[in-house]
Structure 1
Amino acid sequence: MLSVFISNRLRASKHQAGLIGFLSKSSTLGVMLGVAVLIVALSVINGFEQQLKTRLLSVVPHVAYQAPYDPISSWPDKVSLLEAQPGIVAAAPEISVTAMVQFRGELKAAQVKGVDFLTHHKVSDVGQFINGAALASLSDDDIVLGRHIAAELGLERGDKLTLLVANPQADSPLAAPKRLNFVLAGVIDMGGPIDRTLALVSVNRLQQAMGLAQDQVTGLRAKVDDVFAAHQIAMSAGRALPDLVYVNSWFRTQGSLYQDIQMVRTIVYLVVFLIIAVASFNIVSSMVMEVKEKQADIAILKTMGAKDSTIFTTFAIQGVSYALIGALVGLFIGILLALNISDLFRAWVEMDGDNPLQGVYFIEFLPSQLMWFDVVAVLSITLVIAVLSCLYPAWQAVKVDPARVLGG
């Protein structure tokens, strides 16, 4: 095409080494950096959202019913009742207490959950993150601790430890706690704050420690088929329970985290596209200056019979090419970084010795999930901005009057 040929000749012109060349190169660099940053940022945000759904929400209760006063009796019947409600996939009993883990004189606080080892997998995927024995194979004397709890106490699999649980039957709040002996059977390694707080034991042991009957628990938890409708399902299913319970869902405990991820996604889109828009404005500036400088060449082309459409297309292609080169290079760099950002972050943490995500987020590593929809969307929007930014300079080129330029 004639327009493409002329555009290439203009780009290779010696005048491109001056101010116009600097502006065009800076605009290309701006588009490249904007696209690369946007791809990496969106991949990291997608990674956090994926980890929230597949890691955190697979362990924390989707729906929880907690008895504030009297325990929940006949829990097998209540579990069956909940599982019959719309939206509930499975339900299981649970007793949750705060206790102290003691080993060789050292103490560490833990959130202890008494669960039914045989059915807990129906409502939680915590078993996937346990290093050691399978959850269903554990006995009443076994305990599973978070990785950080075990590491800080110097515990290893097979070690015997003591769990100090407050005595709910004591007359005085200062009464000595009950001491329960366990054997460490496994370690929870999720790579987040749960590793610092969670401990799992048999629901039977906590029932005995708290003076509860075999069919009594202090809470029920349920897994739902739609995590984003968890609160509505929790309220609807909770009405079927005859007991007085507090109704809770992951939206109340982790919902702000999900909203923060979506808010950051919106901010990243806005900020980085503004960067791309500024870079595209540089394309406008360089193209306007180039049209001014190339007026004589444009006039000669017109006298030789070049159509206005040819002149318009020539300068539009030249402007778009600046953005296209930057966008393609930026995509390559962004995709390369997005695919390796987790390993780069891990290497940086090992070298620096300080993890900025530790104790801040629900995971302690930098996740990344590259979605090709984002790649296509970023490239498409960048090209649309580039095309719009080239319309005015190309139109100015069409308006050049050969008689005025060559006659002067």
Structure 2
Amino acid sequence: MNLSLFLSQRFRKAKRDNGFIGFIGKASSAGIGLGIAVLIVALSVFNGFEQQLVERLLAVVPHVEYEAPNRPINNWPSKVKQLADHSEVAAASPFIKLNGMAQFKNELKAVEVSAIDPAFETEVSDIGKFISPTPLQALQKGQIILGKQIFEALGVNIGDSITVLLPNLNTKSDHLAAAKKLRLVVVGQIAMGGPVDHSTGLIHLSQAQDLLDLSADQVMGLRLKLYDVFNAHRTAMSIGSELNDYVYVNTWFRSQGNLYQDIQMVRTIIYLVVFLIIAVASFNIVSTLVMEVKEKQSNIAILKTMGATDRMIIMTFMLHGMFQAFVGMLGGTLLGVGLALSLPDIFLWWNQLSGTNVLAGVYFVEFLPSKLVVSDIAVTLLVTFIMTSIATIYPAWQASRIDPAKVLGQ
């Protein structure tokens, strides 16, 4: 092995008769490096979006909702306690959800009103972190907190009174009665980016209970926060079977699952495409080594007459080709890691330079997240190493097949 390594270094440093061979070798290394850098950066972005999905969006969106379609859920405090005591549940809270219209002067905007108990809601959702100036815990009857986009569309200010048109569900006859007008004071806005800002309005639970003629211990739904968000469907069905009420079961997969699936699908596509690019660059090493073997066949013949074994020749040229790959892998890793770590700052700088933000109002974040995962780098380097190792086998084997008598006899 030591002799093979020494010979590969001598072949690499030796002056070439054909400069095109050196160019092809450098191009192969550059192709491998760029492929690795692109893959590291792309995976870091997808990891960042997935992290933000869990820590930002899923920290606000309920993991599980049990919603009564017809009759209200009675004695909700005891049922909230029952759900919260489950080993897979972090917290539970009551809610009433209504669709309505918010009106201010001549402006109208659709709003999905969630009536919540602030004390319980802060346990299942981190939405309070994105509410200002009034904290969620201070929300009282007669007040409303609106999403930023609704806030701006209506043109309201903190302290203004708006009219909210909400359905009047008569729980005794199960019929939808004429809409009721609620006069509510705007005390805060939700500014987290994404769909929550476009559709959400928060009012106190007692406000909706009065609207629907419900008693203080009756609600239309229960929300859960789970420890394992990616196991929400199985957990929701298992826990829901323990409730005595007839409810619809909804999980975050129904409302936000398409976004998560898109992230995973694009991640897989990126893996396949970039690994194909790396494969092409890796197998360019084949042509480089074939030309190297052709150029160095007299040297190889002399080595074989001096006692070099076929195994030694094969190892020499495999190490020679793998060094080219190593240069590309090292350069690509350094470039990819550097870009992945600085990508959020680069994106912010570009936004400031261009004056636009391509993510604004499109995704649930308005910045470009990046999360570097060591295992992604390890997998990328391992697969690249395997592909380049395979690429060197055939030229190295061809080198070992050289017949000294034929070459030196010419």
What TM-score, normalized by structure 1, do the two folds share? 0.91
Is the 1:103–1:153 contact (alpha carbons within 8 Å) kept by the matching residues of 2? yes
Matching residue of 2:111? 110
1:142 and 2:143 are equivalent in the alignment: yes
Matching residue of 1:225? 227
Q: How many angstroms does 1:33 deviate by?
A: 1.2
Letter paired with 1:235: M
User: What is the aligned counterpart of 2:403 among 386, 395, 401?
Assistant: 401
Q: How many angstroms does 1:304 deviate by?
A: 4.0
Q: How many angstroms does 1:338 deviate by?
A: 1.0
Is the 1:63–1:250 contact (alpha carbons within 8 Å) kept by the matching residues of 2? yes
Instruction: Summarize the Cα distance change of 1:340–1:142 in structure 2 as closer, same or farther, 3 Å threshold.
Output: farther
Is the 2:159–2:185 contact (alpha carbons within 8 Å) kept by the matching residues of 1? no
Q: How many angstroms does 1:210 deviate by?
A: 2.8
- Superposed CA deviations along residues 190-210 of structure 1, whole A, max 9, x for unmatched, are 222211111211111122223
Q: How many angstroms does 1:324 deviate by?
A: 0.8
Write the distance in 2 (CA, Å) between the matches of 1:339 and 1:289.
39
Is the 2:24–2:288 contact (alpha carbons within 8 Å) kept by the matching residues of 1? yes
Matching residue of 2:55? 54
Percent sequence identity is 52
Q: How many angstroms does 1:4 deviate by?
A: 3.6
Matching residue of 1:284? 286
Is the 1:94–1:115 contact (alpha carbons within 8 Å) kept by the matching residues of 2? yes
Q: How many angstroms does 1:147 deviate by?
A: 2.0
Matching residue of 1:199? 201
- Superposed CA deviations along residues 88-145 of structure 1, whole A, max 9, x for unmatched, are 3321110111222233432222211110011111111112222323322332243222
What aligned pairs does 1:4-403 form with structure 2 within 5 A after superposition?
4-15=5-16, 18-168=19-169, 175=178, 177-184=180-187, 186-403=188-405
Q: How many angstroms does 1:17 deviate by?
A: 5.7
Write the distance in 2 (CA, Å) between the matches of 1:242 and 1:305.
85
- Superposed CA deviations along residues 302-345 of structure 1, whole A, max 9, x for unmatched, are 33444444433321121011111111111111111111222222
Q: Aligned with 1:61: secondary structure? A: coil
Write the distance in 1 (CA, Å) between the matches of 2:115 and 2:17.
73
Q: How many angstroms does 1:34 deviate by?
A: 0.8
Is the 1:89–1:224 contact (alpha carbons within 8 Å) kept by the matching residues of 2? yes
Write the distance in 2 (CA, Å) between the matches of 1:240 and 1:151.
43
Is the 1:86–1:237 contact (alpha carbons within 8 Å) kept by the matching residues of 2? no
Q: Aligned with 1:222: secondary structure? A: strand
Q: Aligned with 2:74: secondary structure? A: coil
Q: How many angstroms does 1:262 deviate by?
A: 2.1
Q: Aligned with 1:89: secondary structure? A: strand
Q: How many angstroms does 1:66 deviate by?
A: 0.9
Q: Aligned with 1:167: secondary structure? A: strand
Q: Aligned with 1:374: secondary structure? A: helix
Letter paired with 1:93: P
Q: Aligned with 1:400: secondary structure? A: coil
Q: Aligned with 1:243: secondary structure? A: coil
Write the distance in 1 (CA, Å) between the matches of 2:18 and 2:349.
41
Write the distance in 2 (CA, Å) between the matches of 1:98 and 1:298.
81
Larger CA deviation: 165-174 vs 309-318: 165-174
Q: How many angstroms does 1:403 deviate by?
A: 1.6
- Superposed CA deviations along residues 9-68 of structure 1, whole A, max 9, x for unmatched, are 333344376321222122111101110111011111111211121112111111111111
Is the 1:191–1:365 contact (alpha carbons within 8 Å) kept by the matching residues of 2? no
Q: RMSD across aligned C-alpha pairs, in angstroms?
A: 2.5
Letter paired with 1:222: L
Structure 1, unpaired ranges of 5+: none
Q: Aligned with 1:204: secondary structure? A: helix
Write the distance in 2 (CA, Å) between the matches of 1:122 and 1:284.
60
Write the distance in 2 (CA, Å) between the matches of 1:16 and 1:359.
59
Is the 1:178–1:209 contact (alpha carbons within 8 Å) kept by the matching residues of 2? no
Structure 2, unpaired ranges of 5+: none
Q: Aligned with 1:168: secondary structure? A: strand
Write the distance in 2 (CA, Å) between the matches of 1:43 and 1:366.
10
- Superposed CA deviations along residues 367-398 of structure 1, whole A, max 9, x for unmatched, are 21100111122112211211121122112212
